[in-house]
């Protein structure tokens, strides 16, 4: 995998975790924060860490922000700084700006001032945890407003059957993408795969159908 360069502005829980993940994947990350405390904390963990005012175009230009292919605005509760920073990056011509939003209104403003993608970490995590508390769902990924991936324990009504015999696509409107036996690893599912008690399935489908399948008794 080719090494890429990322600019991450805001080194709180979300931004800091994201930046460390990117470094762990072998990429170069310049972390920026206006607070000296996280700058000191992440010194040595990221490729470069700088204390700077990200709302200042002059400061961002001096850091070469416009040369990064991807910039992440991970500023938390300071909405004004989040919006101004996104606008500055857009003016500097950053090719891809990903911005964290805390509300729908905040997200819409970020898009208007130049964010190419807006993410809602708290809301999305709340959705995932909420689904994991219902039925047999273990994890939940909303890929699109109408489409989801669900990780769930195998429902009793298909245990002991092949996926073809269980007719999961016809009966439930979902596709079993992969399956993990107890004590084993995930493997691709085929029509001949026999579902055993305790298996974990990852299924894909329309949100309501994937959710309904995940809520079947296991």
Asked if residues 213 and 206 have their Cβ atoms less than 8 Å apart, the reply is no
Give the three-state DSSP class for 72. strand
Asked if residues 153 and 199 have their Cβ atoms less than 8 Å apart, the reply is yes
pLDDT at 125: 66
Q: Tell me which residues of the chain have a pLDDT lower than 70.
A: 1, 124-136
pLDDT at 45: 93
Distance CA 146, CA 175 (A): 15
Per-residue pLDDT tens digits for 32-63: 999 999 999 999 899 999 999 999 999 999 99
Give the contacts of 105 (CB within 8 A, at least 6 positions apart): none
Residues of the chain with CATH 3.30.70.1450: 124-214
pLDDT at 133: 64
pLDDT at 130: 67
- Of 202, 213, 204, residue with least CA distance to 139: 202
Flag whether the pTM goes above 0.75: no
Q: Which fold has domain 124-214?
A: Alpha-Beta Plaits (3.30.70)
pLDDT at 77: 80
Tokens representing 192 are 């001949």
Range list of β-strands (E), 78-188: 96-100, 117-119, 137-144, 147-153, 174-180, 187-188
Phi, psi at 88, each rounded to 5°: -60, -45
Phi, psi at 23, each rounded to 5°: -65, -40
- Of 61, 68, 35, residue with least CA distance to 49: 35
pLDDT at 165: 94
* Domain covering 5-119 in this structure, CATH number: 3.40.50.720
Residues of the chain with CATH 3.40.50.720: 5-119
User: 83: part of which helix (H) or strand (E)?
Assistant: helix 79-91
H-assigned helices in 116-158: 121-132
């Amino acid at each position: 995998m080719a090494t890429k360069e990322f600019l991450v502005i805001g080194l709180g829980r979300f931004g800091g975790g994201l930046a460390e993940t990117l470094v762990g994947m072998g990429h170069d990350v310049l972390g920026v924060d206006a607070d000296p405390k996280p700058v000191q904390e992440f010194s040595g963990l990221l490729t470069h860490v700088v204390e700077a005012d990200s709302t200042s175009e002059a400061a961002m230009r001096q850091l070469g922000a416009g040369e990064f292919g991807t910039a992440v605005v991970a500023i938390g509760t300071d909405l004004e700084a989040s919006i101004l920073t996104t606008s500055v990056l857009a003016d500097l011509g950053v090719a891809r700006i990903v911005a964290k939003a805390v509300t729908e209104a905040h997200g819409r403003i970020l898009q208007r001032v130049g964010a190419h993608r807006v993410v809602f970490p708290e809301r999305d995590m709340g959705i995932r945890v909420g689904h994991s508390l219902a039925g047999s769902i273990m994890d939940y990924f909303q890929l699109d407003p109408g489409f989801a991936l669900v990780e769930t324990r195998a429902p009793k009504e298909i245990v002991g059957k092949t996926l073809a015999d269980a007719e999961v696509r016809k009966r439930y409107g979902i596709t079993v993408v992969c399956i993990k036996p107890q004590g084993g690893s995930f493997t691709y599912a085929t029509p001949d795969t026999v579902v055993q008690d305790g298996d974990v399935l990852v299924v894909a489908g329309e949100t309501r159908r994937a959710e309904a399948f995940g809520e079947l008794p296991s």
